[in-house]
Structure 1
Amino acid sequence: MSMHSVASPAITFTPPKRNSLTHIPGDEGWPIIGKTLEVLADPKGQVERQAAKYGLVYRSHVFGETSLVLLGPEANELVLFDAAKQFSSTLGWGPVLGLLFPRGLMLLDFDEHRVHRRALSVAFKSGPMKSYLAELDTGIAARVTQWKARPGPMLFYPAMKQLTLDLAATSFLGAGIGPEVNDITRAFVDMVAASVAVIRRPLPGTQMARGVKGRKRIVAYFSEQIPIRRAKGGGEDLFSQLCHATHEDGALLSTQDIIDHMSFLMMAAHDTLTSSLTSFIGALAANPQWQDKLRDEVSALGATSGEPTTFDSLEAMPLTEMAFKEALRLKPPVPSMPRRAVRDFSFKGYAIPAGTLVGINPLFSHHMPQIWPDPERFDPTRFTDEAQRTRHRFAWVPFGGGAHMCLGLHFAYMQAKCFARHFLQNLSVSLEPGYTPDWQMWPIPKPRDGLRVTLSPVG
């Protein structure tokens, strides 16, 4: 029997005894709620204050459990690269995402994760990626044309959210999905909102109850569609690719595996891309000199507005990629990442017992002044080849790293550059004088006020 046809043995753990972490400096805050409200109110400021007081390893108490925060590039490398396989992603993310996105790729560990990742990687090979680019390109061009026809003030975040949702539906589910698309996308929106809801049980009337109902709808849709897609053959969309994906021994993915992977991949692609494309455009609006440089790069492609975007044109946009990377540095779409230690380990001289919940913090690493001089300034030249060569390779981790490095990172770059090409070719974006957008940085960054921008036609 092949290993993917049986569930891998569950990793069990016993949380360390309360006093087993008291040798590590820190402050657990209030009884029961600990530091949870402080972290939610100001995640960046809170971690920076704690680090200034206690150093790069400190004890905290959030969401009902004593945990450790490990900060900086060395911590990122230890936890993400995880050569010794001592940190469980399943036991880190499970309490947050397990009810709505069970057994998504990010929630699997070690050998089981490797087997599923290899099977899923077929959907991100060059053939399917070309097909996704064609779908993205058509959808983005049409939406930018609509925005150009109605210039003036707009709330950028909700507009971007709708666009990424529509794009995910066509490139992931196929353009011919039909009238069910609105029903399916609504279910996804409910699931994503529930994954970060404060109330974690599906009590009547709660966001979690709506999320669990949304998951039932998604499970029903995919269960019905999988045999249809398998019988039909072909299909370049992600869903069709997974319906025909096989493990190393030639066995097809199970129906349940496809449901779990599709649910998770659509969630991951939708919310993180909405966040990062919004912060990217917000940064260009606030830094018109960089917007001009990127528009010049797009103009140099020599493509007229109606021409399709090709992989060659994306390759010819290095400045745009650097600017997108800098936006991801300033507002990483996953600002903190939890894991649970499955064995005793030590870090920075501290002995840490198995069972300990640990968190790393890309948001902190991305703003360390000793790595990033003047860290709040938007400066894409931080991502020249030369600048990157001299930096710790785990100083910038918006896509994670190691075995769990984001499977869709090339998809993200492709969508960002394709979007930048159409947007900058047709529109200029600016902020009202004196306006500073107010960002909520956790769990996935988003502007609280929707990001008010003004669009003006160019060309």
Structure 2
Amino acid sequence: MSLVGPPPPPTTNPLRRLWMDVRNDRRPHEPPFPAGDTDYSLARARRMVRDPLGVLLEAYERYGPVFTLRVFHERIVWVLGPAANHHVLVSNAPNFLWREGHFRELLPLLGDGLLTIDGDFHRRSRRIVLPAFHHERIAAATGLMVEETRRAMAGLRDGARLDLYAWMRSLAMRIAMRALFGLDPDREREIDAAAEFERALAFYGNDYWMQVARGPGSPYARMQQARGRLDRLVFGEIARRRATGERGEDILSLLLDAEDEDGSRLSDRHVRDEVMTLLFAGHDTTTSTVAFLAHELAGAPAWADRIADEGRAVLGDRAPDAATLMGGGLPELDMVLDEVLRMYPAAWVGPRRSVEPFEISGVRAPGGVPVNYSSWASHRLPDVWEEPDAFRPSRFGPDARTRIPKGAYVPFGGGSRICLGMRFGQLEIKVITTLLLRSWRLGLEPGWRLAVRQTPTIGPAGGLPVLVARAPAPVSHAAA
């Protein structure tokens, strides 16, 4: 017996969606929208595309944790800060729907995976998928992470220039192909599949009006073609395993056999949607996080040395293992990763639509309107974080961590929708970082400055050019 799927989205036609958004925006709302910048402003819309963090922090300073911004045709309620995050993610989460928020744009590629569904279907789907991410299942993937990282590192050369973002993107895709699908990333079919996914994902890096365009040759048409070719591979692999009974340690195998307590199982379509969602959520975010981590360590080489020395002291020449990496065995690496996720949370915005009116910090807002929380902006609030733009891993030390307010730190969301692959992604990042710093140091090219793009997740715009150098001999560092 398969789960009954969620209701279809109101429409996937972009012009009809635009008309519905405008109609909803113009209807009377009770209570009214919170205070904010609600005039039609092309300058604001452009800046929101180029510098959303700056726009949101300025609005927070003027209006407080709940405010309204009009971007193009639509007013959006933004909620920032610990209390707002906790309200949307935990205490009143059922009042904020994902499927009808701006993540609906992901439906053509991802389908009905955990990222795009709500309510009972989400709860039951999550229960079925959850065992695939139990600790022992995640730990089983450590070996292939180590193998693929060592393979990628074998091509590094002392003194070479490297686009670390592109290097990491290739590595993360190879790990995903093996861990999610149990496929050989060196076979031509799998190489083609990885390329199709990248082509499909590229659609979401286009400007809004390019995404709206339809017809032959449009970015949307190219995305649909790439998705179709990718679907043929995924559905073919599902059918083959159903027919032969072949199973492995990969996530696809686990999803094929997973069932709810009443015997409900995932249909082939649902299995496809979940693995595509996991590929989307894990591949892009892990790539960006490692790139940002490398960027910050290049500017703070003492921390790079500390992490490397800690790894040598704990692991020696042994390969990293899940028990050490996920059990608190490398606390300085943990602090650095937590700080990078604070500064650059990959899923920087959580778009929702409110069901009923709500109130946060004494400010009321209407139901039936777009509501966005932003981990990125919340993590940069100066009244919550001391020197929020500074790279300070010590703020996540054992004593300092206890002083972080509830809801202030939400790089993976929270509540019933907290990222299911969070521990898998953290393990992958720690394996790569530990092995990389054991042998190499990465420096930034002189004069190069980081620019951040925001779609589909935040990442370094134009890649991350670094200079590769062999790591120095081990030294001892006093705690900072």
TM-score range, shorter chain: over 0.9
Give the aligned residue type for 1:212.
Q
Whether 1:172 and 2:170 are equivalent positions in the alignment is: no
| Counterpart among 364, 368, 383 of residue 351 in structure 1 | 364
Comparing 150-159 and 287-296, the one that deviates more = 150-159
| Counterpart among 232, 240, 244 of residue 228 in structure 1 | 240
- Residue of structure 2 equivalent to 1:24: 34
Equivalent runs, 1:7-406 vs 2, <5 Å: 7-9=5-7, 15=24, 17-20=26-29, 24-30=34-40, 35-62=44-71, 64-83=73-92, 85-147=94-156, 149=157, 151-176=159-184, 178-197=187-206, 198=208, 199-201=210-212, 202-230=214-242, 231-304=244-317, 307-314=318-325, 315=327, 316-406=329-419
Contact 1:317-1:417 within 8 A present in 2 as well: no
Residue 345 of structure 1: how far off its partner (Å): 1.7
Give the aligned residue type for 2:112.
R
Residue 369 of structure 1: how far off its partner (Å): 1.4
Q: Residues 294, 11 of structure 1: CA spacing in aligned structure 2 closer, same or farther, 3 A cutoff?
A: same
Residue 11 of structure 1: how far off its partner (Å): 8.3
Residue 443 of structure 1: how far off its partner (Å): 4.3
Contact 1:76-1:394 within 8 A present in 2 as well: yes
TM-score by length of 2: 0.89
Residue 84 of structure 1: how far off its partner (Å): 5.7
Give the aligned residue type for 1:269.
G
Distance 1:196 1:439 in 2: 12
Whether 1:415 and 2:428 are equivalent positions in the alignment is: yes
Comparing 158-167 and 415-424, the one that deviates more = 158-167
What secondary structure is seen at the aligned counterpart in 1 of 2:466?
strand
Distance 1:354 1:164 in 2: 40
Contact 1:437-1:449 within 8 A present in 2 as well: no
Give the aligned residue type for 1:51.
Y
- CA deviation profile, 1:12-69 (whole Å, cap 9, x unmatched): 79836445375521113436x6843221111111111222222221111235321111
Give the aligned residue type for 1:408.
G
Please identify runs of 4+ aligned residues in structure 1 that moved more than 3 A: 8-19, 175-178, 432-435
Comparing 247-256 and 107-116, the one that deviates more = 247-256
Contact 2:57-2:381 within 8 A present in 1 as well: no
Contact 1:93-1:107 within 8 A present in 2 as well: no
Residue 346 of structure 1: how far off its partner (Å): 2.0
Distance 1:43 1:418 in 2: 32
Distance 2:316 2:238 in 1: 39
Q: Residues 360, 61 of structure 1: CA spacing in aligned structure 2 closer, same or farther, 3 A cutoff?
A: same
TM-score by length of 1: 0.92
Distance 1:308 1:55 in 2: 48
Distance 1:8 1:431 in 2: 47
What secondary structure is seen at the aligned counterpart in 1 of 2:468?
strand
Distance 1:356 1:35 in 2: 20
What secondary structure is seen at the aligned counterpart in 1 of 2:24?
coil
Contact 1:29-1:35 within 8 A present in 2 as well: no
Q: Residues 83, 58 of structure 1: CA spacing in aligned structure 2 closer, same or farther, 3 A cutoff?
A: closer
Q: Residues 57, 413 of structure 1: CA spacing in aligned structure 2 closer, same or farther, 3 A cutoff?
A: same
Residue 439 of structure 1: how far off its partner (Å): 2.4
Give the aligned residue type for 1:366.
H
Q: Residues 59, 48 of structure 1: CA spacing in aligned structure 2 closer, same or farther, 3 A cutoff?
A: same
Contact 2:9-2:104 within 8 A present in 1 as well: no
Give the aligned CA root-mean-square deviation in angstroms. Answer: 2.2
Distance 1:176 1:324 in 2: 29
Residue 7 of structure 1: how far off its partner (Å): 2.5
Distance 2:172 2:111 in 1: 23
Give the aligned residue type for 1:141.
R
